Amino acid sequence: MEEEFDVSESQSQPSFDIKAFFIRVLSYWKLFVLFIGIGVFIVYQQNIRTQQSYRLSTQISVEEESNPLFTSTTSLTFNWGGVSGKVQTMITSLRSRSIHEKVVDNLEFYITYLKQSRFRKDDIYTEAPFRINLTPSTSQLLDVPIKVTFLENGKYELSINFESNSARTQNFTNKKRANIDVPLGEFKKQYSLGDTISLPYVNGMIYLAEGRTVIPNEDYFIQFSDFDAVVIKYRYKLAIDNPRNSAILNLSMVDVNKPKIVDYLNETVKVLSEDQLNRKNQFVTNTIKFIDEQLDRVKSQLTLNADSLNSYRQKNKIFNIDEESVSINSKLSSLEADKDGINKKLAYYASLKTYLQTSNTFTEVPAPSVAGIEDSNIVANIGKINELSVQKSKYGSTVRKDATIFADLNRQIEGLKKVLLENINSASNELKRELRLANIKIAIEDAKIRKLPKAQQKLFDIQRQFKLSEQTYNVFLAKRGEADIIKSASVSDVLIIDPAKDTGATPIDLKLSSRYLFAIIGGLLPPLLLAFLLTFFDNKLHNPQLLEKISSIPLLGVVGKNDLVNNLVVHLKPKSTIAEAFRSIRSSLQYFYKKHNLEGAKTVMVTSSVSGEGKTFCSINIATVFAMSEKKTVLVGLDLRKPKIFGDFDIKNDIGVVNYLIGQKDISEVVQQTKVPNLDVITSGPIPPNPSELLMGERMGTLIEELKETYDYIILDTPPIGLVADALELLEYVDASIYVVRQDYTKKGMINLINSKYNKGEIQNLSFVYNGYNQKGKYGYGYGYGYGYGYGYGNYANGYNDDKPIKKSYFSRIKSFFK
């Protein structure tokens, strides 16, 4: 025992008790079962309600497809927009709003065909046996299911349940929305298949899909969605991948309806290809339009000149002209044709100059070759400026107007405009010089004509006008045919490698069965987290081992729980395990006294950290166990603030230690006998205003000396040392001190306090008694010390504040479960 009472450095308190954590986890098995059950139930409910999502894709390649008929010998020079083969531009187009608007419009995805299932209305799309053909420029009801119930003989019933007096509609032709008044409640009306529905909120005709039949009394639903909302939905669903920045684009989409994914992806590629081809052919299209306008003008002039020629010949009866006159006329006609070509070029340059100076877009410029322009600089610059204009126009619908790319394109276009205007001025001056020379030559030949008779002069003039018109018409007609050939031979730069197709796509969502694994994991986490937090923030003692870990003060004994209402467990049940534990404590104290050669009366002080730890319970039973060994024992109640010991012995507290300490009574008057043989009790008596001063007075020492003359053992029941300093004042009178701690009650921080006093030498000969131990409790670890104790069970003994055991309510038991 001497080794047990040596002063040593206290051990540090562990920050986290792993063993306690696992013990607590095991004690929460009911919570694990509860949370796992809840998780599995939630997953089951989700599984039976969840629609699986699928991902399908299509693959395209962006190539630079040249026109097989567009060669160096082709007289028409066309610019193809300059953007084909540019993958980034294609990606930008695919992400634009305009292309998705075309796709949604073409597929009519703002119309949804639904059928009621167990938990929801499912989108059945192509599985619907009917279709609705909307009446153009009419309004349709938005976001309200329209029920279609098929009846016998090709009839059906249309029903709508209006939950408010107003409804939103949209005209899917011009995309305008409106709010209209509707009748509150359910609307019903019967129609025959093929009848036109004409209502303020539904307009169209329902017909059976090809090869489909309907079952009578089967219900379907039609729902119209806001056009812009549908566009936004599919626009952000489309995923675009450009692997390694190659010419390959992978387009994919995720949705619950696989046929819808297939149709949307394929239609997107189709619209992209058509849009790209239209942009590619924009220059040739503008040229064809220009040629058509010129053909209309020249055709009417040619007809007029032919009529004039025939009329003049018949009127003047001139049908044959001499050979010299024909030669002169032919030469003059050739000069007139050259002059006309020069004028056309000048007119084209003048028109082009005005267009460049007044227009902001340059995508409608016809090919220069139409007017016979062969200047390589002008042709090249027109091609470049058209290319940049097409690119700017393409970015206009996909990129913000303030983007730096527009500033860069405008800067390039302005530079080309300046160069092109200088080229036009230079070429125009040269043409004007050629025009003057042509006029001189024409004047010479005109003079020769004037020597001929008047009738022949007039005939020659009409013939020249006719031939000039005929020649111009033939030129435009030839170029028109050439342009048509080139346009028809043009192909899109978008090459479809793999069209979208459902080849047995599997759901991309988590498999329904594997979700239960996550449910189990999710069910395990809350109790584990709860156990971790409670263990981490737990600051109470739950077993004797932990007490030994955090303190070097020796453990004198371990006392089990008391199942009696009275604290006199040793007296009432002398054969109980609790009584045996107190006998062991008695033996240890006697060994201590013998080891320290203490003769005569011995004193023991019993204290604790705070009230409620069983200090009075231990004081009473230690005194009782000494008395049962036929030793004269006295139990002195020195807790002057909260006297307790009198209740268990059925004695009064009218007179006690306080009366002796203030000099009112002597020893014989304050000592009271009990029903326990050899055990007397001195209660604390009336509560004084100055308990600390009384315990520090000289009368306290006199009291101890007088008691030693009469008794073998003096047991002092003192106040909690963690609350007041009264117990410290009594240390000089005692041979041994017992510090009571209680399982699941005493806080670890209070042990640090007594450790500090013990290590500083303020308290000597101190030992712990572990009270209320329950080996089968939530935190019982099993305990096998070498003290020879058999630790009892039952309910916890009455503590410092408890006279009677309190039966726990259902709420208290639940609350204690989480302690």
For residue 716, the model assigns a pLDDT of 92
Across the range 370-382, mean pLDDT stands at 68
Cα 715 from Cα 795, distance rounded (Å): 25
Cα 61 from Cα 268, distance rounded (Å): 14
pLDDT in tens, 281-327: 666 677 777 777 767 776 666 667 666 656 655 555 444 444 445 56
Cα 670 from Cα 401, distance rounded (Å): 103
Most confident of 491-500, 508-517, 778-787, 792-801: 491-500
Most confident of 49-63, 189-203, 371-385, 766-780: 189-203
Task: Tokens for 377, please give them.
Answer: 């600089």
For residue 790, the model assigns a pLDDT of 33
Q: Would you say the C-alpha torsion 479, 481, 485, 490 has a positive or negative sign?
A: positive
CB-based contacts of 734, cutoff 8 Å, min separation 6: 603, 604, 605, 716, 765
* Secondary element (H or E) of residue 607: strand 602-608
Q: Out of 46-60, 176-190, 506-520, 614-628, which region has the weakest mean confidence (pLDDT)?
A: 506-520
For residue 333, the model assigns a pLDDT of 64
With CA atoms as reference, report the closest residue to 456 among 331, 312, 335: 312
Q: What is the mean pLDDT of the chain?
A: 78
Whether the full predicted model's pTM is greater than 0.75, yes or no, is no
Domain boundaries in the chain? 19-50+509-536, 106-264, 282-489, 539-817
CB-based contacts of 550, cutoff 8 Å, min separation 6: 10, 11, 12, 13, 14, 748, 751, 752, 755
* Percent over 70 (pLDDT), the chain: 74
Choose between 332 and 168: higher pLDDT: 168
For residue 469, the model assigns a pLDDT of 66
pLDDT in tens, 411-462: 877 787 788 778 878 777 877 787 788 777 777 766 655 544 554 555 556 6
Q: Render the burial of 655-690: b for 16+ CB within 10 Å, e for the rest.
A: bbbbbbbeeebeeeebbbebebebbbbbbbbbebee
Does residue 12 register a pLDDT over 90?
no
pLDDT in tens, 383-397: 777 777 766 666 665
Task: Tokens for 80, please give them.
Answer: 């193809």
For residue 4, the model assigns a pLDDT of 38
Task: Tokens for 329, please give them.
Answer: 């006329």
Choose between 201 and 292: higher pLDDT: 201
Using alpha carbons only, what angle is made at residue 143 by residues 138 and 52, rounded to the nearest 5 degrees? Answer: 130
Strand order in the sheet with 219-224: 121-123, 111-116, 219-224, 146-150, 155-162, 185-192
Q: Out of 173-177, 397-401, 741-745, which region has the weakest mean confidence (pLDDT)?
A: 397-401
For residue 325, the model assigns a pLDDT of 53
Q: pLDDT class for 550, splitting at 50, 70, 90?
A: confident
Across the range 48-71, mean pLDDT stands at 72
Domain 539-817 has CATH 3.30.750.24: no
Q: Out of 565-574, 723-732, 753-762, which region has the weakest mean confidence (pLDDT)?
A: 723-732
Does residue 353 register a pLDDT over 90?
no
